[in-house]
Amino acid sequence: MSTSKLQIKNIDPLKISNICCIGAGYVGGPTMAVLANYCPNIKINVVDINSERIDKWNGELNELPIFEPGLDLIIKSVRKRNLFFSTDLRGSIKSADMIFISVNTPIKTKGIGAGQASDLSWVESSARQISKFAKGHTIVVEKSTLPVKTAEIIQSILGSYEDLDDEKTEKKTFSVISNPEFLAEGTAIENLKFPDRVLIGGEDQFAVDALKNIYLNWVKEEKIITTNLWSSELSKLIANAFLAQRISSINAVSMICESTGANIKEVSKAVGTDSRIGDKFLDSGPGFGGSCFKKDILNLVYICRSFSLNEVADYWEGVLLINDWQQERVYKTIVKKLYGNLNEKKILILGFAFKANTNDTRNSPSIDICNNLIKEGASLVINDPKVSEKEVFHSLNIYNLKKEQKNITFEKDIVQAANKADAIVILTDWEQYKNLNWEQIYKIMRKPAWVFDTRRVLSIETLKELKLNVWQLGNGSND
Ligand code: NAD
Ligand code: UGA
């Protein structure tokens, strides 16, 4: 790409004093809060088209739109000091020296590439707004996860701006750089404060240095990697593909353990202590969820196919196939153990978020597993410490279910929820599920009573003493 047409290299990298972030979601909110915390001299406006979300960011600290450990305390100290949330895109873009695009990039649902390619509508609309309202020279930072070469699209939109009537006199210029985000939900604040690395890709050294100088306020220089634009965009997709691949690998092994009498916990430890392999991301479970792994791998597969790299595409697609299979086999195991019939059976689901310490349910394995159990005729009671009843019902699309399938309730009190349940299924590894009073719970369940522990958070021996039937994922000593 030729970026030279639009670059002017006269910006002082030390003088970024006003930042705008488009998108007040799981990335935009926490990222800008941490940035505001470490850079008190920079004014940051986080803007969103969703006014309800913005109201929540400006509202009570215990009702922020997203739950992240430690986020409320940071928001408390920076909000209205140098961090502001609003729907004023025009004003915030106009005053910004640097603009982060942190909008959603889901998979296309229609047209060419439907089901695989990224839907860049929100990125495009952000770029159009920037091109319209920006003034002078503006550094545009891709924070969203994007297909390789998206910077070219953004650059093209920015380059064909139309002057607003009242601003005809001033020439606008832009530099586009990439700075993908690697935070994981549930540990976002920790990840942002102490990142493994910060990646900045770009051709305009002044723009790259401007962003680097901001990070240097709290990140050591050796942790800041600079690359060309395309390496940066691609590295983000590849990092997620590698992480997801490890989970699919260990999930595939979990089934071998169940078939052979081995135990996945022991195998993970034995394999992961090899320093070349490492012990992280080797926890088997009901399949990975979250808003990104699936969409980013689908996108990678789409990119590979568009370059006719079909073998490479098939390889990465395998990661998704194993993930779907893992979710399906959890549900099928439950049906099989409950005599192949779930009619008139009550199942308590412990955990609806896609992982612990978040209220996010996007692509949570709980959704497909619950939907399949509902189809089998089960009546479900769902518990989650942070996901609301409204969100659970919305994720399960309960309002569109047939009348006989609407046997779903939400219950905050686990003991109450377990009353007369035939089975309890642990789907999220929340800390509070690790120390339940199983003696009390077993007494009030309908017998024979089952527990399905897909996250392996329970001590199987203690439960078996109670005559509770236990199935633990990846445990070869299951009955
Ligand atoms: P999100 O859906 O939580 O937030 C995106 C926000 O952007 C929404 O509130 C939406 O209303 C807003 N938006 C969309 N178009 C807009 C526009 N034109 N003007 C103003 N606001 C607009 O998404 P997210 O989880 O924060 O993810 C954002 C990006 O970051 C995605 O590309 C994702 O892949 C990537 N990412 C996400 C995570 C994560 O943990 N969620 C981590 C790393 C990277
Ligand atoms: C993931 C990556 O970890 C982040 O680096 C990345 O920035 C982010 O995606 C993104 O691009 O959105 P996230 O999805 O928030 O972060 O959470 P993870 O901790 O990666 O967990 C994803 C899923 O994998 C969860 O369902 C989790 O339960 C599952 N998982 C994770 C396992 O089943 N086993 C493991 O060992 C680890």
Rounded to the nearest whole angstrom, what is the distance from the C-alpha of residue 354 to the centroid of ligand 2?
Answer: 9
Of 268, 267, 257, nearest in space to 477 by CA:
257
Task: Tell which atom from ligand 2 comes closest to the C-alpha of 355.
Answer: 28
Helix extents (H) in 264-350: 264-272, 293-306, 310-337
Per-residue pLDDT, 477? 85
Digit-coded pLDDT (tens) for 117-141: 999 999 999 999 999 999 999 999 9
Cα 81 to Cα 83: distance, rounded to the nearest angstrom: 6
Rounded to the nearest whole angstrom, what is the distance from the C-alpha of residue 362 to the centroid of ligand 1?
Answer: 12
Per-residue pLDDT, 379? 96
- What residue's CA is closest to ligand 2, atom 31? 281
**Residues of the chain scoring pLDDT < 70:** 1-14, 162-170, 403-405, 479
Pairing state between β 346-350 and 450-453:
unpaired
Rounded to the nearest whole angstrom, what is the distance from the C-alpha of residue 428 to the centroid of ligand 1?
Answer: 23
Cβ(144) to ligand 1 under 6 A?
yes
Task: Tell which atom from ligand 2 comes closest to the C-alpha of 186.
Answer: 15
SS3 428: coil
Per-residue pLDDT, 460? 84
Q: Are residues 344 and 376 in contact, defined by beta-carbon separation less than 8 angstroms?
A: no
Cα 224 to Cα 213: distance, rounded to the nearest angstrom: 10
Q: Are residues 436 and 443 in contact, defined by beta-carbon separation less than 8 angstroms?
A: no
- In the chain, the N- to C-terminal Cα span, in Å, equals 60
Q: How far is CA 337 from CA 304, 327, 331, 371, 449, in A?
A: 41, 16, 10, 18, 11
- What residue's CA is closest to ligand 1, atom 4? 25
- H/E element holding 46? strand 43-47
Q: Are residues 458 and 472 in contact, defined by beta-carbon separation less than 8 angstroms?
A: yes
Cβ(24) to ligand 1 under 6 A?
yes
- What residue's CA is closest to ligand 1, atom 25? 26
Cα 350 to Cα 335: distance, rounded to the nearest angstrom: 17
Per-residue pLDDT, 169? 56
Q: Is 294 exposed, middle or buried (0-12, 13-18, 19+ CB in 10 A)?
A: buried
In sequence order, the 6+-apart residues with CB closer than 8 A to the CB of 201 are 177, 178, 179, 226, 227, 228, 229, 230, 231, 232, 233, 235
Rounded to the nearest whole angstrom, what is the distance from the C-alpha of residue 319 to the centroid of ligand 1?
Answer: 24
Cα 312 to Cα 170: distance, rounded to the nearest angstrom: 48
Cα 140 to Cα 125: distance, rounded to the nearest angstrom: 14
Rounded to the nearest whole angstrom, what is the distance from the C-alpha of residue 213 to the centroid of ligand 2?
Answer: 29
| Domains of the chain (ranges, CATH numbers) | 5-227 (3.40.50.720), 228-479 (3.40.50.720)
- What residue's CA is closest to ligand 2, atom 37? 281
Active site residues: 292
SS3 226: strand
- ω into 448 cis (within 30 of 0): yes
Task: Tell which atom from ligand 2 comes closest to the C-alpha of 286.
Answer: 33
Task: Tell which atom from ligand 2 comes closest to the C-alpha of 283.
Answer: 36
| DSSP letters spanning 86-149 | ES-HHHHHHT-SEEEE-----B--SSTTTTTSB--HHHHHHHHHHHHH--SEEEEEE-S---TT
Cβ(363) to ligand 1 under 6 A?
no
- What residue's CA is closest to ligand 1, atom 18? 126
The number of beta carbons lying within 10 Å of the beta carbon of residue 437 is 10
pLDDT averaged over the chain? 94
Rounded to the nearest whole angstrom, what is the distance from the C-alpha of residue 458 to the centroid of ligand 1?
Answer: 35
Q: Is 476 exposed, middle or buried (0-12, 13-18, 19+ CB in 10 A)?
A: middle
Cβ(145) to ligand 1 under 6 A?
yes
Residue from 93, 102, 133 to probe ligand 1 pocket by mutation (most atoms less than 8 Å from CB): 102
